[in-house]
């Protein structure tokens, strides 16, 4: 009985993993825009509570919108291109060595 439960759980997990992979393959050729969220996190430190601001960039199907960076200039956040040659062929360590 216990083995049947484990088998059912494994089958369900495999189903969801394969479903996601098929969805990803179907949508692989679509171009993405870049989304941006700016988040503030409080954390305790020796000086009391401090705030760290984090910018999170992520792929999205949403259309681009205007965003003002640092209150200086109005840019349009829109990147919908395939990865560059270097992103496909080099590791982060290789890039770090180049820019070090």
User: Number of structural domains, the chain?
Assistant: 2
Pair 61, 94 in one domain:
yes
Asked if pLDDT for residue 81 goes beyond 50, the answer is no
Q: How far is it, in rounded angstroms, from Cα 43 to Cα 50?
A: 5
DSSP secondary structure letters along 38-65: EEEEEEEETTEEEEEEEEEEEEESSPP-
Are residues 2 and 45 both part of a single domain? no
Mean pLDDT in residue range 54-64: 80
Asked if residue 63 and residue 50 are part of one domain, the reply reads yes
Domain match, 18 and 44 both: no
Cβ–Cβ under 8 Å, residues 78 and 59: no
Give me the mean pLDDT over the 65-70 stretch: 66
Q: Are 43 and 50 in contact (CB under 8 A)?
A: yes
Q: Kindly state whether residues 9 and 47 are assigned to the same domain.
A: no
Asked whether the beta carbons of 65 and 36 are under 8 A apart, the reply is no
Give the model's confidence band at 46: pLDDT under 50 very low, under 70 low, under 90 confident, else very high. confident
**Of all residues in the chain, what percent carry a pLDDT higher than 70?**
57
Domain range spanning residue 96? 31-100
85 plus 48 within the same structural domain: yes
Residue-wise pLDDT tens digits, 3-41: 788 788 888 888 877 777 776 666 666 677 788 888 888
19 and 39 fall within a common domain: no
Confidence class for position 57, pLDDT limits 50, 70, 90 = confident
What is the b/e burial string over 4-27, where b = at least 16 CB atoms within 10 angstroms of the residue's CB? eeeeeeeeeeeeeeeeeeeeeeee
């Amino acid at each position: 009985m216990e083995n049947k439960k484990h088998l059912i759980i494994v089958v369900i997990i495999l189903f969801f993993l394969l479903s996601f992979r098929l969805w990803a393959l179907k949508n692989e050729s679509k171009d993405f825009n870049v989304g941006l969220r700016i988040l503030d996190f409080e954390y305790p430190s020796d000086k009391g509570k401090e705030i760290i601001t984090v910018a999170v960039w992520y792929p999205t199907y949403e259309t681009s919108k205007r965003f003002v960076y640092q209150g200086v200039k109005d840019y349009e956040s829109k990147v919908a291109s395939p990865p560059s040659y270097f992103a496909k062929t080099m590791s982060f360590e290789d890039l770090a060595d180049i820019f070090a």
